[in-house]
Amino acid sequence: MMLIGQFDSPFTRRVAITMRLYGMPFDHRPWSVFGDADRISAHNPLLRVPTLVLDDGIALVDSQAILDHLDGLVEPGRRLMPSEGHARAEAMRICAVACGIGDKAVALFYELRLHEAPSAFYVERCHRQIRDGLVWLEQAYAERPGPFWAGEALSQPDITVAVILRHLGEAHPDPARLDGYPRLAALAAMLEATEIFREISQPFVAPSA
Ligand SMILES: N[C@@H](CCC(=O)N[C@@H](CS)C(=O)NCC(=O)O)C(=O)O
């Protein structure tokens, strides 16, 4: 499989970390969404990463769809996302809120960087969505026991929250203010210290337009 995208993208990173945890080798193409747009468009009309090109040539887009496909390749007991029921619904909503924060962080970055005069209304709206999302996640995490979202074992919400926080802290130090979310920050720090997170890592650098 060929994974397109740089690891400064939290969405690409959650896929790569998951593949490494599943022991799935991949051919990494660290193409930039701006600098390598033509190469990416050959596989993804949206010019977005991550894009995962399967061995049969099908190119999957969107990290959640990619992870869903990868989960189907491992035995149920090894899946990082619960397969059904309440546990799946809970994990899906945590990942969706975390990824939503990531979406707003990316949108805010583009608003600030690509517009000569960013919309103050839109910028403030993004700040609010990011802040309220973090407050919500911090509270949801505080309400359940154990070091991980699912208790004692690592699962996809842990990975997703950690990569989103790292990206947010690097792309938007001000609106992120991660010291206001100590439990999430501690979870992220624990995971970022692990070998796989350190290996699949790239500091966020502003792309050139
Ligand atoms: N919902 C998507 C979001 C992916 C995304 O926003 N990727 C960014 C990089 S972090 C991107 O490709 N941006 C280029 C663009 O949208 O023009 C996912 O989960 O994969």
For the chain, the domain total comes to 2
Q: Determine phi and psi for 205, rounding to 5 degrees.
A: -125, 135
Domain of 195, CATH number, reads: 1.20.1050.10
Asked whether residue 141 is assigned to any structural domain, the reply reads yes
Q: Is the pLDDT of residue 173 over 90?
A: no
User: Containing domain of residue 97, as a range?
Assistant: 85-199
Q: How far apart are CA 107 and CA 92, in angstroms?
A: 22
> Ligand 1 mean position to 48 CA, how many Å?
5
How far is CA 14 from each of CA 27, 39, 194, rounded to the nearest angstrom? 16, 22, 14
Asked whether residue 209 is assigned to any structural domain, the reply reads no
Instruction: Indicate if 93 and 184 belong to the same structural domain.
Output: yes
Q: Give the pLDDT confidence score for residue 179 in this predicted structure.
A: 80
Predicted TM-score (pTM) of the model is: 0.96
Dihedral over alpha carbons 81, 84, 86, 92 (to 10 degrees): 40
Instruction: Indicate if 32 and 93 belong to the same structural domain.
Output: no
Output the six-digit token pair for 184: 């999430």
In this structure, the residue with its CA closest to atom 2 of ligand 1 is 62
CB count within 10 Å of CB 64 equals 17
Tell me: cis bond preceding 50? Omega within 30 of 0 counts: yes
Confidence class for position 109, pLDDT limits 50, 70, 90? very high
Instruction: Indicate if 104 and 195 belong to the same structural domain.
Output: yes
Asked whether residue 208 is assigned to any structural domain, the reply reads no
Instruction: Indicate if 155 and 70 belong to the same structural domain.
Output: no
Instruction: Indicate if 57 and 74 belong to the same structural domain.
Output: yes
Asked whether residue 63 is assigned to any structural domain, the reply reads yes
Percentage of residues in the chain having pLDDT higher than 90: 94
pLDDT tens for residues 5-42? 999 999 999 999 999 999 999 999 999 999 999 999 99
Query: Using a 6 Å CB cutoff, which residues line ligand 1?
Result: 9, 11, 33, 47-50, 62-64, 99, 106
Tell which of 78, 99, 132 closes a domain: 78
Q: Give the pLDDT confidence score for residue 152 in this predicted structure.
A: 94
**Pocket perturbation via mutation, ligand 1, pick of 7, 8, 11, 63 by most ligand atoms within 8 A of CB:** 11
Which of 208, 206, 188 minimizes the C-alpha distance to 13? 188
Domain of 28, CATH number, reads: 3.40.30.10
Left if phi > 0, otherwise alpha if psi is -120 to 50, otherwise beta: which for 186?
alpha
pLDDT tens for residues 189-200? 999 999 999 999
Q: Are strands 2-4 and 59-61 parallel, antiparallel or unpaired?
A: unpaired
Which residue type does 18 have?
T
Average pLDDT, the chain: 95
pLDDT tens for residues 125-135? 999 999 999 99
